Chains A and B, each alone.
Chain A
């Protein structure tokens, strides 16, 4: 059996005294796109932060393997270099740092961590240009400070652009559809779909089904009260949309 890209076993995490993840189990084989759906406050975003290594959470139990490696032992930068990418629900502003400068710093930091040489400027420019064209990211946007004054659509396109350039193994998309109008949603989804590959997996976190019309998942999981309570194919998302989450709350009890 091939090694899953992501394997989460009985993951428990808390913030201060409050337990938020209460035993998450999830296996994502290479090339698959899994969606996690759940209502606000169910712990979906916490899952993404815990996987990326945000400091605020304490992991009390369980383990996570990224392509067979112990993810929880790594610091956030090491996780990134190992191929974990989180597209933020609310991308952070970095004043004064041109988007282009940030992209280059990120790529080269990851290459350095993996013992690879820096990307030459022409190669970097070519890569940015190619990825940028597909996402309607023009040179003007690349010159602006990262996320500062960006519209909702620009922020999400910049996230997907980073994902395209960094070529991660495992992409986590946290509420990527939030703040997007329908046109922007199409551009972003197209960008994400273009990155689907046999050796890359994705975890799409959302509480609306509409995103999944554009990024069609292989598996849908329902998240409730800190764990996965139901899994199924893409039709599960439609079922949820029709009936709401209430039916699944009982399963969590």
Chain B
């Protein structure tokens, strides 16, 4: 877990060099902008059928998977880039990117001892609790299993044995394709169809890694599952694919945390996440995203075009998305729920902070199909600097969705007068018994609030952080404990330099 608090203080596992390299980056205040020197094994530049074949071959995929990818690639050729989001960026040249980069330390390591020390050192910098020592000692986070993903290949998966005891499968998607083809064939693209949208289709053709989780019937996952994504190779698009299946009466909580080193070129990130909840199952999916947002002039930064969708397929199933978005130059992301099963429930709790020249267009979709389905949306957007922050959300009730209910609350907070906050709700009901409520507010941090806090001794930045933390409190309390403290610090870091 990234530790934002103690950077200047030496801490166990963080050496002097790390501290110095972090401190030297204060120009852009991005604390994770270092680059690990690991030789990569890269695909030829550009997107083509050959690239797709290369990736599939690199992953030792079975023939059916290659065909699946090629089919996606052919469909992708027929699609055009969507333009409806309120974001602006230069055209992305898909032929000027690499689609595969894997650390060269093959064959796959059997234990942490065999892992490239440079990689372990990088995770140390990020504070990923990978060390078995820590895990066994149970000091920091005894109940988090980490599947660390760096550029495309899952390097180490911990805790797997313990999870295997209760029948839980937690592995890389590549491994799942090889080891559990029946599950992958059944569920992959069953929530986000191959040609769902431009970026999802691209992802289907060239995805390189991601996580796979399978929770068997009646099992309550004994720990929070956690994956760290990290974009490391220059000009490498990262296309993750995550698939989580919760069988009837099961429960799982999944944490996704992201950081990336800084660089000049814009990097495309187009992940697809699919969740399937069967009868009475519950999935909680939490994300903290603090990728490089670009420098103070808006140069560089990650383009984050993600498709996340959950299918409440079973009766009384529940899917809850919680996201904290503070990074990326551009965010285009709408974690959604299809409320198919009768009595199913979808939740979306979001904190989206934009500063500098960041552009955020994010929200959710709650598609009510089943009877007595309910959903709840709490979105808190905070815009500072020259950023644009848009909430875009859809709530719809199908003709058969009797007694569907939704409550939406969308609050925006503006800091300064050069940023923008926008709310774009799409509400459609085809059922007379559906009840949808939508509340939206836009506010500014008032001079009086700032003066009051300063009169009590808080400096400007402390005052903004405190007020913003208060503003997002309704969402903060839905985060798992380990993300909550981190998020409060992240908010302060993200808003540095937003006042004065």
Are B454 and A76 within 8 A (Cβ)? yes
Which residue of A76, A92, A110, A162 is within 8 Å of B448 (Cβ)?
A92
For the side of the interface on A, what is the size category? 20 to 34
Question: Could you mark each residue 458-489 of chain B with 1 if its beta carbon is under 8 Å from any beta carbon of chain A, else 0?
Answer: 11101000110111111000000000000000
Nearest A-chain residue to B471, judged by Cβ? A96
Find out whether the CB atom of A105 lies under 8 angstroms from the CB atom of B458.
Answer: yes
Cβ-defined contact, A109 with B456, below 8 A: yes
Name the interface residues of B161-195: CB closer than 8 Å to any CB of A: none
Contacts known (A54-B451, A55-B451); A96 close to B456, Cβ less than 8 A: no
Q: Are B452 and A94 in contact (CB under 8 A)?
A: yes
Contact mask B427-460 → A, CB, 8 Å, 1/0? 0000000000000000000111101111111111
Residues of A within 8 A of B457 (CB): 77, 80-81, 106-107, 109-110, 113, 166
On whether the beta carbons of A96 and B455 are closer than 8 Å, the reply is no
The answer for the CA separation of A52 and B454 in the assembled complex, in Å, is 9
CB-CB < 8 A to A88: which residues of B?
452, 455
Complex contacts, A162 vs chain B, CB 8 Å: 456
Is B470 in contact with A96, judged by CB distance below 8 angstroms? yes
The size of the chain B interface, using a CB distance under 8 A, is 23
Q: Are B466 and A75 in contact (CB under 8 A)?
A: no
> Which A residues lie within 8 Å of B466 (CB)?
94, 97, 101-102, 105
Chain B residues positioned under 8 Å from A85 (CB to CB) = 455
In the assembled complex, how far is the CB of residue B485 from the closest CB belonging to chain A, in whole angstroms?
A: 13
Q: Is the CB of A31 closer than 8 A to any CB of chain B?
A: no
For the complex formed, measure the closest distance between the CB of A143 and the CB atoms of chain B, giving whole angstroms: 12
- A109-B451 in contact given A97-B467, A166-B456 (Cβ < 8 Å): no
* Chain A nearest Cβ from B100, distance in angstroms: 45
From B447, B459, B471, B472, contact of A109 by CB (8 A): B459
Q: Are B471 and A95 in contact, CB atoms less than 8 angstroms apart?
A: yes
Query: Across the interface, which residues of B come within 8 angstroms of A145, CB to CB?
Result: 470
- Interchain CB contact under 8 A, B449 and A94: yes
Chain A residue at smallest Cβ distance from B468:
A96
* CB atoms of A86 and B470 under 8 A apart: no
B451 adjacent to A76 (CB under 8 Å): yes
- Given known pairs A109-B457, A113-B457, A166-B456, the reply for A97 and B470 (CB within 8 Å) is yes
Q: Return chain A residues, CB-CB under 8 Å to B449.
A: 92-94
A68 to B470, CA, bound (A): 37
CA A86 – CA B427 in complex, angstroms?
Answer: 48
- Is there a chain B Cβ closer than 8 Å to A23's Cβ? no
Q: Give residues of chain B (58-101) contacting chain A, Cβ–Cβ below 8 Å.
A: none
Inter-chain contact B458/A109, CB cutoff 8 Å: yes
Nearest Cβ on chain A to B166's Cβ, whole angstroms: 37
Min Cβ gap A23→B in Å is 25
Q: Check if A62 is an interface residue, CB within 8 A of chain B.
A: no
User: Cβ of A102: which chain B residues have Cβ within 8 Å of it?
Assistant: 456, 466
Identify the closest chain A residue to B446 (Cβ): A92
- In-complex Cβ contact of A77 among B459, B473, B474 (8 A): B459
A102 to B453, CA, bound (A): 9
Q: Which residues of B contact A76 (CB under 8 A)?
A: 451, 454-455
A55-B470 contact, Cβ under 8 Å, with A94-B453, A166-B457: no
Q: Mark B374-399, 1 if CB is under 8 A from A, else 0.
A: 00000000000000000000000000
Known: A97-B466, A109-B462. A77 touches B471 (CB 8 A): no
A105 touches B473 (CB 8 A): no
What residues of chain A lie closer than 8 Å to B472, measured between beta carbons?
A: 96
Q: Could you say which residues of chain A place their CB within 8 Å of the CB of B456?
A: 80, 102, 106, 109-110, 162, 166
What B residues does A166 contact at CB under 8 A? Answer: 456-457
Q: How far is the CB of A122 from chain B (nearest CB, A)?
A: 19
Q: Specify which chain A residues have a CB less than 8 angstroms from the CB of B470 in the assembled complex.
A: 94-97, 145
Contact in complex: B447, A96 (CB < 8 Å) = no
Q: Is the CB of A77 within 8 A of B458?
A: yes
- Name which residue of chain A comes closest to B453, CB basis: A94
Contacts of B467 in A (CB 8 A): 94, 97
B404 to chain A, nearest CB (A): 30
Q: Which A residues are CB-close (under 8 A) to B446?
A: 92
Interface residues of A in 25-70 (CB under 8 A from B): 52-55
Please give me the residue from chain B that is nearest to A56 by CB atom. B447
Per a CB cutoff under 8 Å, which of B452, B458, B459 touches A92? B452
Instruction: Assess whether A179 is interfacial by the CB under 8 Å rule.
Output: no
**From residue A91, how far is it (CB to closest CB) to chain B in Å?**
7
Q: How far is the CA of A102 from the CA of B462 in the complex (A)?
A: 11
Closest-CB distance, A144 to chain B (whole angstroms): 12
Residue numbers in A under 8 Å from B452 (CB-CB)? 88, 91-92, 94
CB atoms of A96 and B469 under 8 A apart: yes
Q: Which A-chain residue is minimally distant from B460 (CB atoms)?
A: A77
> What's the minimum C-beta distance from A98 to chain B, rounded to whole angstroms?
8
Using Cβ atoms and an 8 Å threshold, which residues of chain A touch B459?
Answer: 75, 77, 109, 113
Q: How far is the CA of A101 from the CA of B488 in the complex (A)?
A: 13
A75 (CB) vs chain B CBs: closest residue? B454
- Provide the bound-state CA to CA distance between A94 and B458, in Å: 14
- A17 CB, nearest partner CB in chain B, Å: 20
With contacts A77-B458, A109-B457, A166-B456 taken as known, whether A96 is within 8 angstroms of B451 at the C-beta atoms is no
What are 21 A-B pairs with beta-carbon distances under 8 A? A52-B451, A53-B455, A76-B454, A77-B460, A80-B455, A80-B456, A85-B455, A88-B455, A92-B449, A92-B451, A94-B452, A94-B453, A96-B473, A96-B474, A102-B456, A105-B462, A106-B457, A109-B457, A109-B459, A113-B457, A145-B470
Pairs of residues from A and B, 4 with the lowest C-beta to C-beta distance, nearest first = A96-B470, A97-B470, A110-B457, A106-B456
| Additional A-B contact list (13), CB under 8 Å, known A81-B457, A96-B469, A97-B466 | A53-B455, A75-B459, A79-B455, A80-B457, A86-B455, A88-B455, A91-B452, A92-B448, A93-B449, A96-B471, A97-B467, A109-B457, A113-B457
